[in-house]
Structure 1
């Protein structure tokens, strides 16, 4: 990935991928999140979501404040840490 600008380090998503998706007509942050998995890595979007919002604002001509943030989704039932890190088969 030499020379590529990374937006999401967790899922290795580039600026070019985000821009291509926006250019194809996808301008909803929720849809971008689902399609590229930005904001779904270990950092939960702390790094990439502000960058994606900036790109989206620039490409659509909107202000960042006008673009709603993606919704946070908690697990439907509590999950033990051991399950998340792979130490339990439950």
Structure 2
């Protein structure tokens, strides 16, 4: 889905704590709703910006359980529809690979 233009000159007001800010949104990285809201008020207005700072979607589930909620929290704080926000860039987890795999070598027993 194509994102809309986000006007960064718009004043979204100061961060005001809420009762539900302690709710864990990303269980893998233990990130709360309040942390995400605070990041938006610090100027991180896209999924990728929030992901780079707080790491939601970078845990074991790779955002399968939290990305929609993170996106909705960002959109709510900005006062826009979630459809205006791009999805976070997906990257597979990095794991060490033995060099023999690249050379297509077969280990002999």
The match for 2:87 among 65, 69, 79 is: 69
Residue 57, structure 1, aligned to residue 75, structure 2: yes
TM-score, normalised by the number of residues in structure 2:
0.64
- Superposed counterparts of 1:1-90, under 5 Å: 4-74=22-92, 79=97
Write out per-residue CA displacement over residues 47-74 of structure 1, whole angstroms, 9 at most, x where no aligned residue.
Answer: 1111110101111122111100011113
The two structures, once aligned, show a CA RMSD in angstroms of: 2.2
Q: Using a 3 Å threshold, how does the CA distance of structure 1 residues 4 and 73 change in structure 2: closer, same or farther?
A: same
In 2, the alpha carbon distance for the partners of 1:34 and 1:73 equals 12
Stretches of structure 1 lacking an aligned partner (at least 5 in a row): 81-90
- Give the deviation of 1:77 after TM superposition: 8.3
Write out per-residue CA displacement over residues 34-53 of structure 1, whole angstroms, 9 at most, x where no aligned residue.
Answer: 10010000000011111110
TM-score, normalised by the number of residues in structure 1:
0.76
Aligned partner of 1:86 in structure 2 is none
In 1, the alpha carbon distance for the partners of 2:72 and 2:30 equals 18
Stretches of structure 2 lacking an aligned partner (at least 5 in a row): 1-20, 99-109
Q: Higher helix proportion, which one?
A: 1
* The structure with more radius of gyration: 2
Number of residue pairs the alignment of both structures matches: 78
Where 1:33 maps in the other structure, the secondary structure is helix
